[in-house]
Amino acid sequence: MKNQWLTFRAFARYLTIRKVVNYAQLGLSFQLSRLLQKPILWGMPTTLSVEPTTSCNLRCPECPSGLRSFTRPTGMLQEQLYRKVIAQAKGHLTWLHLYFQGEPFLNPRFFDMVRLADQNRIFTSTSTNAHYLDEKNVQACLESGLKQLIVSMDGITQEIYEKYRIGGKLEKVETGLKLLLQRRKEANLRYPRVILQFLVTGQNEQQIPEVKLWAEEMGVDELQLKTTQIYNFENGSELIPSDLGYSRYLPNGDGTWRLKKKIQNKCWRMWQGAVSTWDGKIVPCCFDKDASHVMGGLDQSSIADIWRSKPYFDFRHQLLADRSQIEICRNCTE
């Protein structure tokens, strides 16, 4: 509870009346849209995910970065485009997640990006596989203003860890994480808050008791046991855990599988925020990993114009009418 309070405290410090009013407008228009079954939109996105890069050092089996399977262009976010995003969004943005696909630390200007957002009073977070937490990057991380760091670690032995994080070195993750927490303590800093994220699979679920103990001994601020998204889950997968409490999917009894949660014709994400790829394409959410639903491009349009564009309204209208017809929604836990 204390750790969650510290995260909320950092978040609340950057709130303004304008941002709070904007959030209220989004929430009200979302509820009205559900009631009237047509998209009504007041306000601007309060959250945004921005992709620093599509590059990654690992080859995780359920990730297009790891599989090197993108059909969209790949590359690095450039400073000019990023500055444009911050300049346009700083008045209404409450949360910036500097991550979509790829390993963000591979962008050489990553901490400059964090610093710019923090200077503009935007709460920042990111997600990393923690292979680049060396002395230099740890110091830069502590000085950047980053408020939340999610570390993905899906096993506490190398044998289990590398089953999903293919090409990864658990010892490197442990060393880097320990260094960050040690340096943060020595500097008497509270941020970034460190969340250890453990994707529960059929390969590592037996390690849950051990990872809970490990996280406590390491001194991370929070441990999240997260369900794993699996492509082509319908025919089952060794990644689906036997403890279905940690699964997004349920067996049908005939060898096939289905989503645990029924797809409903609503999605708060479409009113709350958006995702920007490294080259400025705005897509509706993080499930659109291949940018198959591009709402507009920041190279030609502003965030405001894209947010209220016809493609975006048509997309919102479709999900209110029948969300099951949208491909990226068919494997979603929203």
DSSP string, 48-100: EEE-SBS--S---TT-HHHHT--SS---B--HHHHHHHHHHHTTT--EEE--S
Residue 2: the pLDDT is: 62
DSSP-based three-state secondary structure for 127: strand
Q: Is 136 exposed, middle or buried (0-12, 13-18, 19+ CB in 10 A)?
A: exposed
CB-CB contact of 263 with 236 (8 Å):
no
CA distances, 122 to each of 47, 147, 278 (Å): 10, 10, 19
pLDDT score recorded for residue 330: 86
Dmax (CA) for the chain in angstroms is: 57
At 223-267, the pLDDT tens digits run: 999 999 998 899 999 999 999 999 999 999 999 999 998 889 999
- Rounded average pLDDT over 163-169: 95
Q: For residue 1, what pLDDT band results from cuts at 50, 70 and 90?
A: low
3-state helix, strand, coil in the chain (%, to 5): 45, 15, 45
- Residue 237 near residue 9 (C-beta atoms within 8 A): no
User: What's residue 228's pLDDT?
Assistant: 93
pLDDT digits (tens, 9 = 90+) for 270-293: 999 999 999 999 999 999 999 999
pLDDT in tens, 171-217: 999 999 999 999 999 999 999 999 999 999 999 999 999 999 999 99
Cα–Cα distance, 19 to 131 (Å, whole number): 35
Q: Residue 178: what are its φ and ψ, rounded to 5°?
A: -65, -40
Query: For residues 57 and 89, what is the distance between their CA atoms, to the nearest angstrom?
Result: 31
Residue pair 220/192 in contact (Cβ under 8 Å)? The answer is no
Q: What are phi and psi of 177, to 5 degrees?
A: -65, -45
Task: Give me the pLDDT at residue 63, please.
Answer: 87
**Beta-carbon count within 10 A of 308 CB:** 13
CA distance 41 to 111: 33
pLDDT of residue 64: 84
CB atoms within 10 A of CB 139: 15
- From first CA to last CA, the distance across the chain in angstroms is 24
CA–centroid distance for 321 within its chain? 27
Q: Which two tokens stand for residue 40?
A: 């009504």
What secondary structure, in 3-state letters, does 158-205 show? HHHHHHHCCCCCHHHHHHHHHHHHHHHHHCCCCCCEEEEEEEECCCCH
Model confidence at 4: pLDDT above 90: no
User: Which among 87, 95, 150 has a CA at the least distance from the CA of 124?
Assistant: 95
Q: Report strand pairing: 123-128 vs 95-97.
A: parallel
Cα(207)–Cα(164) distance, rounded to whole angstroms? Answer: 14
57-107 per-position pLDDT tens digit: 999 988 888 788 888 989 999 999 999 999 999 999 999 999 999 999 999
pLDDT higher than threshold 60 for residue 133: yes
pLDDT tens, position by position, 289-323 = 999 999 999 999 999 999 999 999 999 999 999 99
